[in-house]
Structure 1
Amino acid sequence: MKNYDIIIVGAGASGVFASYEFTNKDTDLKVLMIDKGNSIEGRICPIKAGKVENCIGCNPCNIMNGYGGAGTLSDGKYNITTNFGGDMHKFVGQDNAIKLMEYVDEVLCSFDEGESKLFSTTKSDLKTIALRHDLHLLDAKVRHFGTDRNMKILEKMYEYSKNKVDMLFNTIVEDIDYDNDTKNYIVSTTDQGQFSCKKVVLASGRSGSKWISEICDKFNIKLYSNQVDIGVRVELPAEVFKHITDDVYESKIVYQTKGYNDLVRTFCMNPYGQVVAENTNGIITVNGHAYSNPKLQSENTNFALLVSNKFTEPFKDSNEYGESIAKLSNMLGGGVLLQRFGDLVKGRRSDERRMAKCFTNPTLKAIPGDLSLVIPKRQLDSIIEMIYALDKIAPGTANEDTLLYGVEVKFYNSKVDVNENFETDKKGLYVVGDGGGATHSLSQASACGVHVARYLMDNM
């Protein structure tokens, strides 16, 4: 059995930046990082490679797993803010959280060959315009690299770290035990045997949320129920939102509906981007990304509209609720469903004939259908109301040919009870990133990995 000082389970944003920090500080600690997905060069989605038209359920999904995690094939957008994207500031303090995210930004830019703009919503007139229509623009600084440049940055980070930090890919961690005699953790994998270590950092992201919950239950670590966000991915001509995306790029807009007082928000806005399907534990959902290279861009902008759902006793499993809705979409359409906004409000199904007359060309091949058969009425009513509200600041949003893909679900792990250094009650066991329920964005997850790596180097 090979021994390490630290084992990181998961090579997502937190794991990548923890491994970078161990390398950058040239620590003497022996570190191993394990991920069930591919290394960076093997992360190719067969849809994007042109081999298939629809998601074929690759296991593991190259969009969700592997070096860089779900952020690798995203649009490379980093929001430097504590107004959304998680609660890291509640653990490390407001100023320190921002400093850590700004450090992440500096590291990323140091590996970037191009010039990326840092957008800011604080100086935009959009906030005033939005407020006039009961829409609230959240403050943030936004760095956008694009999917293409984001991949190249991560490739360089991998090359930088791989000789200092051991990395195992296509390897599933089945279980973690604690040896009372040696005071070491035993990490058991499917096909690479067992490894021992003094400290374990669980960084398996949202796709590993169920597994993290199982490990926490095993060690009697407290979990607190979280939320699930359910909605659609909106796609429309880029001209409709051009005045907004040219100004702030990512506009996080929140609206409280008149019908239910529910909060609906825009999420992950991708100017001139593409809509993509992703596989989360066998369930096909929808997402979006954008390239920085103009040759790879589309004529459309896409973004998510999400309704937050928080549950009270006796119901606790919010992720199961979200999964059940996504499964309905998979059942009806074999994956992602697509519907024109005009058909939705008129109560009719989009079909091939209606889609053939649509002026907005979809960037993802999906099955035309009826989202009202999938998404519960309350959430769907709230999404429709939000679209009409957005139409007031971006005329054309409520056009009949605006496309809606469903469903988009943002799963959040139950919040793991950790201290200010993200250590659980089980000494030596840390939970970082999205898998711990405290961070929900690339910036915060990456900063979380840096914070824990620094703490471990100073306290071992």
Structure 2
Amino acid sequence: MREKVDVAVIGCGEAGIYAAYELTRLNPGLKVLVLEKGRDIYSRSCPIVAGKVRECVQCPVCDTMCGFGGAGAFSDGKFNFTTAFGGWLTDFMPAKEVMDLIGYVDEINVAHGATEEVYSTSSPAAKALEKKALEFDLHLLQARCKHLGTENNLRILQNIFEDMKDRVDFRFNTEVDKIENLGEEGYRLTTAKGDEVDCGWLVAGPGRSGAEWFANQCKGLGIQLINNQVDIGVRVELPARVFEHITDVVYESKLVYRTKQYGDQVRTFCMNPYGHVVAENVEGINTVNGHSYADPALQSENTNFALLVSNRFTEPFNEPYRYGKHIASLSNMLAGGVLVQRFGDLVKGVRSNDHRMSKSFTRPTLTAAVPGDLSLALPKRQLDDIIEMIYQLDKLAPGTANYDTLLYGAEVKFYSSRLALSGELETALPRFFAIGDGAGVTRGLAQAGASGVKVAQVITRRLKEIGK
């Protein structure tokens, strides 16, 4: 079967949702089709989260990563008002425009049930914390932040879906196999089911799980790719009290440190006070992430956060995504899934096992993680960077380097090889736009949503220019 639409959107993550939302708001009657290989927001359910299994069962399509809301649907819903992190949209447009777009996305969220409470960075306590961090050569990147909460994030997305479903054609459980350039006629998408969709305008927001597929499609279309960074590291879990004096002041604290041994940059990422460590499945590779609920009844006694080492490669290497997957697959090979080790065991050079873990004062919230040895999975350079960073954090938050601090691995943030895009996020092919994390231009809820809105506004302006 072949059909024709005005605009086709690939991917129903944060970027794709806001692109379709704004397109249909500004252009009533425009035929917008969203193709998503995952399920709708009501049908997504990870067997691990549901308590049906302890370990990943390799679902053909991962409900944690795919479906309405993308990977962000089951995140703890941090919404950061900043251009300092969360993406690279300022490479394409002025910082003020990015902030205006982020503010508009927040307005949409609030209209659909998001909190209006914001963690400020201007308080005396926040300024004092920033100064204290500098004493230890730790650089605190602060931003106004909203914590939506994992459970509230889902509710907001459900409300947005209900608002959109009558004006947007959503096709769930529909994977796009191929993108074909039809020249002036636009583009043809062929699905895994064999159906074809022709569109005059194409917006690609494949998300993290579709990043490798999208990069291959772009290569086939002759679109230039630029190496993007790969972030490799671990998720740290420790008693919440260790970081309370930080997380009570700035909920999302990003601490950046340049190691003395190698001069590499290490950063904290995705801080989850009183949160839970969770497993993710990215195209058959088990990685680790963190959640945090707004409801105190659902919270744990621990805080978790990622420690990531950023690596940016140069020619001739051009497959950063595959490199990250390879590192993650090593820990999968050793543990059959996510691996966990006590910090003291790692430094001592011994493998954590069930007996040693049973003596730990810090109890893991991801009970399916298998005790093991991270030094057999992570490259030495990244591991040395992480250990140095933990000792440095211990100066700001004493207790970080405790023997029983837990390290889960591997945590890998996959970013597609970045596309060469215009300031309007358009590829070298006319009327073909790329947005969100899977296109390598964002890495968080706020900027992903902003990228979708931007493209919708660009398409709307051009439609008016040609009188449609």
What TM-score, normalized to structure 1? 0.97
Please give the alpha-carbon distance, in whole angstroms, between the structure 2 residues aligned to 1:295 and 1:454.
41
Cα deviation digits, residues 142-161 of structure 1 (max 9, x gap): 11111000000000000100
CA contact (8 A) 1:341 1:400 kept: yes
One-letter code of the match for 1:101? I
Please give the alpha-carbon distance, in whole angstroms, between the structure 2 residues aligned to 1:178 and 1:340.
52
Give SS of 1:16's match.
Answer: helix
Deviation at 1:89, TM superposition (A): 1.6
Please give the alpha-carbon distance, in whole angstroms, between the structure 1 residues aligned to 2:56 and 2:283.
13
Cα deviation digits, residues 110-147 of structure 1 (max 9, x gap): 2116x452113344121101000000001311111110
Cα deviation digits, residues 380-438 of structure 1 (max 9, x gap): 11101111111111111111111000000011111101111111111111111112211
Cα deviation digits, residues 349-368 of structure 1 (max 9, x gap): 11101111111110102100
Question: Do structure 1's residue 383 and structure 2's residue 386 form an aligned pair?
Answer: yes
Question: Do structure 1's residue 150 and structure 2's residue 153 form an aligned pair?
Answer: yes
One-letter code of the match for 1:217? K
Please give the alpha-carbon distance, in whole angstroms, between the structure 1 residues aligned to 2:189 and 2:323.
31
From 346, 356, 371, give the equivalent of 2:358: 356
Question: Do structure 1's residue 117 and structure 2's residue 117 form an aligned pair?
Answer: yes
Please give the alpha-carbon distance, in whole angstroms, between the structure 2 residues aligned to 1:49 and 1:205.
23
Q: Residues 72-91 of structure 1: matches in 2 within 5 Å?
A: 72-91=73-92
From 435, 439, 448, give the equivalent of 1:436: 439
Q: CA 1:116–1:395 in 2, change beyond 3 Å: closer, same or farther?
A: farther
From 315, 318, 325, give the equivalent of 1:316: 318
User: What's 2:215 paired with?
Assistant: 213
**Sequence identity percentage:** 54
Question: Do structure 1's residue 416 and structure 2's residue 424 form an aligned pair?
Answer: no
* Number of residue pairs matched by the alignment: 458
Please give the alpha-carbon distance, in whole angstroms, between the structure 2 residues aligned to 1:265 and 1:389.
11
Please give the alpha-carbon distance, in whole angstroms, between the structure 2 residues aligned to 1:177 and 1:316.
23
From 237, 247, 259, give the equivalent of 1:235: 237
CA contact (8 A) 1:27 1:457 kept: no
Please give the alpha-carbon distance, in whole angstroms, between the structure 2 residues aligned to 1:121 and 1:268.
17
Question: Do structure 1's residue 25 and structure 2's residue 56 form an aligned pair?
Answer: no
Cα deviation digits, residues 148-175 of structure 1 (max 9, x gap): 0000000000010011010001111011
Question: Do structure 1's residue 275 and structure 2's residue 282 form an aligned pair?
Answer: no
Over aligned residue pairs, what C-alpha RMSD do you find? 1.2
Please give the alpha-carbon distance, in whole angstroms, between the structure 2 residues aligned to 1:41 and 1:329.
32
One-letter code of the match for 2:69? G
User: What's 1:407 paired with?
Assistant: 410
Please give the alpha-carbon distance, in whole angstroms, between the structure 1 residues aligned to 2:343 and 2:117.
33
Q: Residues 41-56 of structure 1: matches in 2 within 5 Å?
A: 41-56=42-57
Unaligned runs of 5+ in 1: none
Please give the alpha-carbon distance, in whole angstroms, between the structure 2 residues aligned to 1:111 and 1:243.
32
From 273, 290, 293, give the equivalent of 1:291: 293
Shifted more, 17-26 versus 150-159: the winner is: 17-26
User: What's 2:466 paired with?
Assistant: none
Cα deviation digits, residues 189-242 of structure 1 (max 9, x gap): 112611111011010012111121122112211110111010000000111111
One-letter code of the match for 1:99? D
Please give the alpha-carbon distance, in whole angstroms, between the structure 1 residues aligned to 2:157 and 2:193.
26
Give SS of 1:119's match.
Answer: coil
Please give the alpha-carbon distance, in whole angstroms, between the structure 1 residues aligned to 2:416 and 2:323.
13
Deviation at 1:320, TM superposition (A): 1.7
Give SS of 2:174's match.
Answer: coil
Deviation at 1:244, TM superposition (A): 0.7
CA contact (8 A) 1:171 1:192 kept: no
Give SS of 2:396's match.
Answer: coil
One-letter code of the match for 2:119? F
From 179, 196, 215, give the equivalent of 1:176: 179
Please give the alpha-carbon distance, in whole angstroms, between the structure 2 residues aligned to 1:97 and 1:275.
31
